[in-house]
Amino acid sequence: MESTNFFNQIAQMNITGDLQITIKQGAESNWIVSVLLQNESCGDNAKHIIVPCTLRGTAQELDEDFFGTITSPLETASGLIVNMESFMKQMEEAKKHSAMEKEKTDKEKKEKEGKDKKFQEAMSKSTDLEKEKKYKEAWTALPKITDFPQHNEAIRKRMSELEKFLAPSLFGE
């Protein structure tokens, strides 16, 4: 029996996936060989667009140039499919990070809204106490600058307004 190196040549190809080879006898002494690379680990349906590599020729022609003809296209297809799968995984990871970022942003927004609400409530309480002429309590009810540094100016202004009731100026304004 004669030895071939068919499987050794396939093993030397740089491909990932399963080769589907269909061999059909054509007209006269020609053969039709179809080689398709399948990679089920790729979740991208675009892989189904890749068409098989189809060769036609006599047995001698196919023996002489079969691997020379199919190696480059199959290695290219294999790389493309592997890249598609890698891309799909990166997209999934990006979606996760996007959801995480949205969640983080939403949380920060809620915290800011809660802080703003506390600031407004304290300022409102101070105003109400001032209307009741409870100036010391109104000043004490003001929010702390250390808790609300972004409202530093508004708090200081309000403190100044209330301080004139607590310690009137000797010189009058």
- Report pLDDT digits (tens) over 125-167: 999 988 898 888 888 899 898 888 888 898 899 888 888 877 7
Domains of the chain, residue spans: 6-92, 109-166
Question: Comparing 17-26, 92-101, 140-149, which segment has the lowest mean pLDDT?
Answer: 92-101
| d(C-alpha 155, C-alpha 151), whole Å | 6
Coil, helix or strand at residue 28: coil
Coil, helix or strand at residue 19: strand
Which long-range contacts does 45-50 make (Cβ < 8 Å, 24+ apart)?
46/84, 47/81, 47/84, 50/77, 50/80, 50/81
- Report pLDDT digits (tens) over 27-56: 989 999 999 999 988 888 888 888 899 999
pLDDT at site 171: 57
Give pTM, 2 decimals.
0.51
Q: Residue 19, Cβ neighbours under 10 Å: how many?
A: 14
Name the residue among 77, 70, 10, 93 with its Cα closest to residue 42: 77
